Amino acid sequence: MSDVTRIPAPDGVAAAPQYSHVVLGTGRFVAIAGQLPLDEQGRLVGEGDPTAQARQVFENLRRCLAAAGATFDDVVKLTFFVTDMAHMPALRVARAEHIPDDRLPAASAVQVAALVRPEFLMEVEAFAVVAP
C-alpha cells in the first residue's frame, strides 16, 4: 500500500459526502481503463439493471487493481460515466462495498449521451498510487 493522504474538504471548499476533494500519494502511478459491466467471457452482466452492472464494474476494477499489485485502498481517483444520473445511487452502493467512507478517493461523475454499446449503463475508470 502506498502513502496516501485524503483531504475531504480543503479550507474554503464545501465538504462533499461522496468523495474527497484532494488525494495525495507517493509511489507508482496506476491507471485503470474504464471498466464495463462484462464478465470474464465478455458477456453483459445485468441488462437494464444498474445495481448488477455497478457490482460487475467494481469487481472488474478490483481485478484490474490486483493485477497491478493494488487494492481499493490505493485508489486516488474514480471517474464515473453514466448514461443517466439515476444510476449513481447503484454505483455509490457498489463503491461502498469496496471503499469505506473514511477512504474515499477524489471523484467525478459525468452523464454521457451513450457508451460504446447501448446496453451499457455505466463505465468507471480508476487511478491508484501504489508503493514503489
pLDDT tens track for 44-78: 999 999 999 999 999 999 999 999 999 999 999 99
Range of the domain at 120: 3-7+31-130
CA–CA gap between residue 124 and residue 84 (Å, rounded): 14
- Tell whether 23 is covered by a domain: no
CA distance linking residue 129 with residue 102, whole number of Å: 17
Condensed to tens digits (0 to 9), the pLDDT of residues 10-52 reads 999 998 888 999 988 889 999 999 999 999 999 999 999 999 9
Q: 34 φ, ψ to 5°?
A: -55, 125
> Cβ contacts of residue 74 below 8 Å, gap of 6+?
1, 2, 4, 25, 30, 65, 128, 129, 130
Is 13 part of any domain?
A: no
Could you tell me if residue 20 is inside a domain?
Answer: no
